[in-house]
């Protein structure tokens, strides 16, 4: 079975937010909410600075606290690619998942359910890439099966230095940043 | 809780076209406006290829409509500009349609200019009003008393109407407020311009230097895509900027230059290349003229001296120069785009061109390409009447290299204020917000007061619309046909813009406005076609291409031609000497420095910092801040202040302050970004925010306007452009 993940090249990313805009239109994310966002990390003293730009979203964790804490059984691990999804009609909007997520990846949709990145599963199931990946003008994002050693994402991880976000939380995030 | 999963719903509807895409043939259901009318209740999904209008790059796009509602806009994979990937603004073009501030119907002013009080009128009433005034002005002052300003391809048809009317006064701020100096600097040196899209070969380069150009923040799609390729290829990037821009974070060498001293660096780089024998000697001997004079002139500019001017360490200047030389001719200095900075911008652009000449890189792979373009025959219109009076924007050709095609916007403004050389009584403004495009808003207001007629045609109620006598609401690019698009690029191509969805109110496309107005002015014979599609089809047929195919695919590619010397392009220079002009006799003859010289910039007064401005990746000029999707990305601009300066003032990230410039002009309140990423002697903000038009209610007074603070400008004596980076600001604490 596939294990979907993303590998994002921070050296190529310019932080243009195209991924955020594309997610918004593709998934009709309401104004005022976003399923992905850009983080900037600047270190050093001018002019000797280092900057890392990251397109961030739900890390589709292998050990997802949002699923374990959900009292309604709404948050669950999908059979497709092991990603974390929400049954919108089961969700009570209690926000336990939001409290449990170390990444701040979730929000309560104005209609009352918890919502977040789905890796555009509706696109992936028809052979397309997630909207954010497909639109990126810097080609900094790769999506694929981390369990397949021949996939682009696996090859990138094998060949480049990388890190995930807050690994110490023990959530086993499945988004990796190339540095 | 709703019973039907929204996610599942999306799965079903997207599957209908995704499966077609997977087969490799995108099922473009093309719909003309007539076909689509009344179809709004239709369920299901269809796609229409078109080209984007969120900036001037004009990327090929495919819009998807679902159940009668505009859903998303993606890049057209056939398009060589976007390669199927739009920038965030293009993706957010959906919000151009749903913008709540959109103009809905024609308006005639009822209160004082600038009060934004209007009455709603019919198109016929509006056209009658405009035609009546224009004819009166023409009878009294001649057709030359009318000036037409436009931005973008959408201005073409109305431009035709005003050329038919008989005025030579056709303007676009893209010359004198943007890239004019660059085109002049390169033309004087190589005999050819840079053009748009820029002819820079970023994707194949081994080393590129950016002078203040912040690619990645200015989101010119092909350039940003190629920047990413350059990063992947391991190209050396040299960034010269007072601000640690996004691309500075990707640079091998970052030169934190003192603003206004770029010329010192450029001339010193030239000196290093010559002195160390690193330049392409054979190239300059074979193709150059005046090299010896140039070498002698720049020999005074040493790295040690340059350090005192630019603040960039001599070692860094030397190493970056060597890096450029190491990879010649596959290395280049990027000419930039918005380069009207200090009023000596044509000379600075020439210094950039000359450095490129030292690298022997003109039309060489990895530096510049020779543009190719799909030839599309023009529509056979009657000849335009010849203007009786000479142009008023540049009397006596005071600025010898002022562009005539786009004119001197600031020159015609001056003529409108003074009435010299003759009165200018009407401005017609299409899709360019002159209040924010031109420096010194007071001068623009003064000019407006002398007009008998000011007309604005736009999608949204911009500031200039607020001062207009008549405002005409245009359909967005998603609702109209436009002129054919065939930009000079590495591959010849032709693109079509066609309607995706109906206009929601009484908005009309520019071609219709142009034709109707011409009819009212008695110039109907200049529009022999009935419908825009007759015009488009005529031209496409004449080019020997299939109009049906163009509509279906959105893009037709031409045969690839050589674009590099390495592919067989000839080393040819259209200068008077036929050579690369290191020494410019043309400039000398007009009394200008034949070789660029360094001039010290004016220092900021004590307690003041230089005001710099630039681009955000999610906004274009002052035309997208009310777009609800793009606004959701960045709602207001911030003023970047060095963190140490912020500490001195006791202000921190997120505080609101005001800025006051050297002339006492005070900005709107603006959020502070206290950061390590900028020098201490300047501040930076993105252009386009701080709207003063109340009708732009969702973005009204959000952020600050750099245009408001640019009261001072310096006119380039060579080409007449307005250097705008010469204003200084101090911090006013918000009460």
Question: Helix, strand, or coil here: B74?
Answer: strand
pLDDT at B733: 84
Best mutation site among B45, B54, B72 for testing chain A: the one with the most A CBs within 10 Å? Answer: B72
End-to-end CA distance of chain A: 29
Whether B187 shows a pLDDT value over 60: the answer reads yes
Phi, psi of B454 (to 5 degrees): -125, 120
User: Does any CB of chain A come closer than 8 Å to the CB of residue B698?
Assistant: no
More confident residue, B508 or B36: B508
Q: Mind telling me how many Å the CA of A162 is from chain B's nearest CA?
A: 16
DSSP A49-79: EEEEEEEEE----SS-HHHHT-SSS-EEE-T
Q: Which of B290, B343, B199 is nearest to B713 (CA)?
A: B343
* pLDDT for the residue numbered B42: 67
CB atoms within 10 A of CB B697: 12
CB A130 within 8 A of CB B18: no
pLDDT above 70 for B18: no
Q: Which two tokens stand for residue B703?
A: 């952020």
Q: What's the rounded mean pLDDT across residues B106-113?
A: 96
Inter-chain residue contact B629 with A137, CB threshold 8 Å = no
Q: Give the 3-state DSSP-derived string for B167-181, with helices as H, strands as E and coil as C.
A: CCCEECHHHHHHHHH
Give pLDDT, residue B43: 82
Considering Cα of B209, then B213, then B219, then B221, what sign does the dihedral take? negative
The model's confidence at residue A1, banded by pLDDT at 50, 70 and 90, is confident
Residue B15 in this model has a pLDDT that exceeds 50 = no
With cut-offs at 50, 70 and 90, classify the pLDDT of residue B518. Answer: very high
Smallest CA–CA separation between A95 and chain B, in Å?
16
Between chains, do A25 and B92 touch, taking CB under 8 Å as contact? yes
C-beta atoms of A137 and B5 within 8 A: no
Tens digit of pLDDT for each residue in B406-426? Answer: 999 999 999 999 999 999 999
Q: How does pLDDT run across B693-711, given as a tens digit for each residue?
A: 999 999 999 999 999 999 9
Q: Out of A16, A26, A128, whose CB is closest to B87?
A: A16
**B73 CB within 8 Å of a chain A CB:** yes
Give the residue extent of every domain in chain B: 198-371, 609-733
For residue B63, what is the enclosing H or E element?
strand B60-66
pLDDT of residue B41: 53
> How many other CB atoms are there within 10 angstroms of residue B530's CB atom?
9
- H helical segments located in B638-716: 643-649, 706-709
Of A26, A49, A51, Cβ closest to residue B72: A26
Quote the minimal CA–CA distance from A44 to chain B in Å.
Answer: 8
Count of helix runs (H) and strand runs (E) in chain A: 6, 10
Interval B232-279: pLDDT, tens: 999 999 999 999 999 999 999 999 999 999 999 999 999 999 999 999
Q: Please name the member of A21, A126, A128 whose beta carbon is closest to the beta carbon of B629.
A: A21
Is there a shared CATH topology between the B198-371 domain and the B609-733 domain? Answer: no
CA B622 from chain centre, in angstroms, equals: 12
Which contiguous run of DSSP H or E holds residue B658?
Answer: strand B656-661
From the list B21, B216, B248, which residue is nearest A16 (CB)?
B216
Query: Smallest Cα–Cα separation from B522: which of B656, B382, B387, B667?
Result: B382
Q: What is the CA radius of gyration of chain B?
A: 26
Q: How large is the average pLDDT for residues A82-90?
A: 97
**What are the structural domains, with CATH classification, of chain A?**
4-178 (3.30.70.20)
Does residue A47 carry a pLDDT above 70?
Answer: yes
Kindly tell me if the per-residue pLDDT of B525 is higher than 70. Answer: yes
Q: B304 near B179, Cβ under 8 Å?
A: no
CA A165, CA B587: separation in Å to the nearest integer? 58
Residue of chain B nearest A22, judged by CA positions: B91
Average pLDDT, chain B: 94
The enclosing H or E element of A84 equals strand A84-86
In the predicted model, what is the mean pLDDT of residues B71-100? 98
More confident residue, B9 or B71: B71
Determine the distance in angstroms separating the CA of A26 from the nearest CA of chain B, rounded to an integer: 6
CA dist B372 and B357 (Å) reads 22
pLDDT given for residue B26 in this prediction:
30
CB atoms within 10 A of CB B400: 17
Name the minimum distance, in Å, from the CA of B95 to any CA of chain A.
Answer: 9
Question: CATH: 3.40.228.10, 3.40.50.1000, 1.20.1250.20, 3.30.70.1350. Which one for B198-371?
Answer: 3.40.228.10
Contacts of B675 in chain A (CB under 8 A): 42
How is residue B543 annotated by DSSP?
T
Residues 6 or more apart whose Cβ sits within 8 Å of residue B162: B146, B148, B169, B170, B428
Reported as a pLDDT band with limits 50, 70 and 90, residue B387 is confident
State yes or no: pLDDT of B14 exceeds 80.
no
Mutate to test the interface with A, among B2, B5, B7, B678 (most CBs of A within 10 A): B7
Q: Report the C-alpha gap between B108 and B106 in whole angstroms.
A: 7
pLDDT(B1) > 50: no
The CATH T-level fold of domain B609-733 is: Barwin-like endoglucanases (2.40.40)
Distance from CA of B310 to the nearest CA of A (A): 14
Q: Is B234 on the interface with A (CB under 8 A)?
A: no
Amino acid B735: pLDDT: 54
Residue-wise DSSP of B385-435: PPPSSPPSSSGGGSSTT--TTT--HHHHHHHHHH--SS---EEEEES--HH
B76 phi-psi bin (left φ>0, alpha ψ -120 to 50, beta other): beta
Residues near B555 by Cβ (< 8 Å), separated by ≥ 6?
Answer: B49, B60, B76, B78, B79, B80, B493, B494, B495
Query: Over the range B429-447, which residues count as b (16 or more CB within 10 Å of their CB) and which as e?
Result: bbbbbbbbbbbbbebbeeb
Of B6, B248, B633, the CB nearest to A20: B633
Cα torsion through B349, B351, B352, B355, rounded to 10? 160
- Looking at the predicted structure, is the pLDDT value of residue B19 above 60? no
**pLDDT > 50? residue B167:** yes
Could B87 and A137 be called an inter-chain contact, meaning their C-beta atoms sit closer than 8 Å?
yes
Contacts of A83 (CB under 8 A, 6+ apart): A4, A60, A77, A118, A119, A121
Alpha carbons B410 and B398: distance in angstroms, whole number = 13
What percent of chain B lies above the pLDDT cut of 70?
94
Strand A141-145 and strand A114-115: the pairing is unpaired
A22·B18 Cβ contact <8 A: no
User: Would you call B14 and A122 a contact, using CB atoms and an 8 Å cutoff?
Assistant: yes
Does residue B614 carry a pLDDT above 60?
A: yes
Compute CA distances B354 → B19, B271, B716, whole Å. Answer: 53, 11, 19
* Per-state percent for chain A, helix, strand, coil, to nearest 5: 20, 25, 55
Under 8 Å between Cβ of B177 and B458: no
The answer to whether B135 contacts chain A (CB < 8 Å) is no
What percent of chain B is predicted at pLDDT more than 90? 93
Alpha-carbon distances, residue B203 vs A16, B81, B488, B681, B732 (angstroms): 19, 13, 17, 34, 44
């Amino acid at each position: 079975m596939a294990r979907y993940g993303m590998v994002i090249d921070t050296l190529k990313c310019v932080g243009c937010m195209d991924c955020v805009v594309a997610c918004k239109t593709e998934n009709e994310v309401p104004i005022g909410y976003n399923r992905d966002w850009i983080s900037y990390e600047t270190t050093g003293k001018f002019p000797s600075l280092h900057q890392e730009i990251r397109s961030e979203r739900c890390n589709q964790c292998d050990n997802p606290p949002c699923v374990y804490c959900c009292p309604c059984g709404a948050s669950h691990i999908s059979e497709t690619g092991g990603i974390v999804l929400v049954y919108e009609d089961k969700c009570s909007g209690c926000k336990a998942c939001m409290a449990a997520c170390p990444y701040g990846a979730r929000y309560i949709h104005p209609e009352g359910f918890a919502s977040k990145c789905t890796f555009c599963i509706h696109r992936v199931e028809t052979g397309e890439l997630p909207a954010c990946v497909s639109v990126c003008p810097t080609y900094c994002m790769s999506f694929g099966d981390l369990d397949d050693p021949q996939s682009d994402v696996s090859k990138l991880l094998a060949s480049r230095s990388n890190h995930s976000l807050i690994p110490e939380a023990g959530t086993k995030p499945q988004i990796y940043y190339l540095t | 809780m709703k019973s039907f999963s929204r996610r599942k719903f999306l799965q079903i509807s997207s599957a209908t076209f995704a499966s077609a895409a997977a087969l490799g043939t995108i099922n473009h259901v093309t719909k003309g406006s007539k076909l689509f009318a009344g179809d709004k209740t239709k369920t299901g999904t269809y796609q229409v290829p078109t080209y984007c209008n969120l900036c001037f790059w004009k990327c090929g796009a495919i819009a998807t409509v679902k159940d009668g509602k505009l859903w998303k806009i993606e890049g057209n994979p056939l398009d060589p500009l976007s390669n199927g990937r739009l920038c965030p603004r293009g993706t957010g073009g959906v919000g151009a349609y749903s913008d709540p501030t959109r103009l809905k119907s024609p308006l005639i002013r009822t209160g004082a200019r600038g009060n934004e009080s209007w009455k709603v009128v019919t198109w016929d009433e509006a056209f009658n009003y405009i035609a009546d005034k224009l004819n009166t002005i023409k009878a009294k002052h001649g057709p030359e008393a009318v000036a037409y300003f436009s931005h973008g391809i959408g201005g073409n048809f109305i431009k035709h109407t005003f050329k038919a009317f008989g005025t030579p006064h056709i303007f676009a701020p893209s010359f004198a407020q943007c890239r004019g100096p660059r085109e002049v600097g390169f033309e004087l040196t190589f005999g050819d311009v840079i053009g748009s899209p820029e002819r820079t070969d970023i994707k194949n380069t081994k080393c590129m230097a950016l002078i203040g150009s912040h690619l990645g923040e200015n989101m010119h799609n092909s350039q940003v895509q190629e920047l990413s390729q350059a990063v992947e290829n391991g190209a050396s990037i040299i960034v010269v900027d007072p601000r640690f821009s996004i691309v500075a974070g990707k640079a091998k060498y970052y030169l934190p230059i003192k603003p206004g001293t770029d010329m010192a660096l450029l001339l010193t780089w030239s000196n290093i290349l010559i002195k160390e024998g690193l330049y392409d000697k054979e190239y300059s001997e074979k193709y150059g003229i005046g090299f010896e004079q140039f070498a002698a002139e720049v020999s005074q500019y040493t790295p040690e001296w340059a350090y005192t001017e630019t603040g960039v360490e001599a070692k860094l200047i030397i190493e970056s120069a060597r890096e450029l030389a190491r990879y010649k001719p596959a290395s280049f200095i990027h000419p930039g785009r918005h380069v009207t900075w200090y009023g000596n911008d044509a000379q600075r652009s020439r210094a950039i061109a000359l450095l490129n000449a030292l690298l022997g890189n003109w039309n060489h792979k990895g530096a510049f390409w020779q543009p190719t373009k799909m030839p599309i025959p023009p529509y056979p219109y009657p000849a335009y009447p010849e203007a009786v009076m000479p142009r008023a924007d540049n009397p006596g050709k005071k600025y010898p290299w002022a562009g005539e095609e786009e004119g001197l916007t600031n020159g015609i403004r001056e003529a409108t204020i003074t009435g010299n050389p003759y009165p200018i009584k009407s401005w017609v403004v299409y899709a360019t917000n002159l209040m924010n495009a031109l420096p010194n808003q007071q001068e623009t207001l003064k000019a407006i007061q002398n007009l008998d007629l000011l007309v604005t045609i736009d999608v949204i109620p911009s500031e200039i619309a607020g001062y207009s006598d008549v405002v005409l609401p245009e359909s967005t690019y998603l609702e109209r046909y436009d002129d054919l698009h065939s930009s000079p690029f590495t591959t010849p191509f032709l693109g079509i813009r066609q309607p995706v969805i109906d206009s929601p109110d009484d908005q009309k496309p520019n071609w219709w406005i142009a034709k109707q107005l011409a009819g009212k002015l008695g110039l109907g014979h200049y529009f022999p076609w009935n419908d825009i599609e007759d015009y488009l089809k005529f031209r496409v047929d004449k080019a020997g291409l299939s109009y049906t195919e163009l509509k279906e695919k959105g893009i037709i590619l031409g045969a690839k031609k050589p674009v590099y010397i390495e592919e067989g392009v000839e080393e040819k220079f259209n200068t008077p000497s036929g050579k690369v002009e290191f020494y410019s006799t043309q400039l000398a003859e007009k009394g200008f420095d034949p070789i660029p010289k360094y001039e010290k910039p004016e220092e900021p007064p004590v307690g003041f910092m230089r005001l710099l401005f630039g681009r955000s990746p999610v906004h274009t000029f002052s035309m997208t801040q009310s777009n609800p999707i793009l606004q959701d990305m960045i709602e207001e601009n911030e003023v970047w202040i060095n963190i140490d300066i912020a500490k001195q003032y006791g202000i921190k990230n997120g505080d609101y302050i005001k800025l006051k410039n050297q002339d006492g002009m005070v900005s709107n309140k603006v959020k502070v970004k206290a950061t390590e990423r900028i020098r201490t002697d300047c501040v930076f903000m993105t252009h386009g925010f701080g709207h003063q038009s109340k009708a732009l209610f969702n973005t009204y007074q959000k952020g600050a306007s750099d245009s408001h603070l640019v009261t001072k400008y310096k006119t380039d004596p060579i080409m007449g452009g307005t250097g705008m980076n010469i204003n200084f600001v101090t911090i006013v604490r918000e009460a």
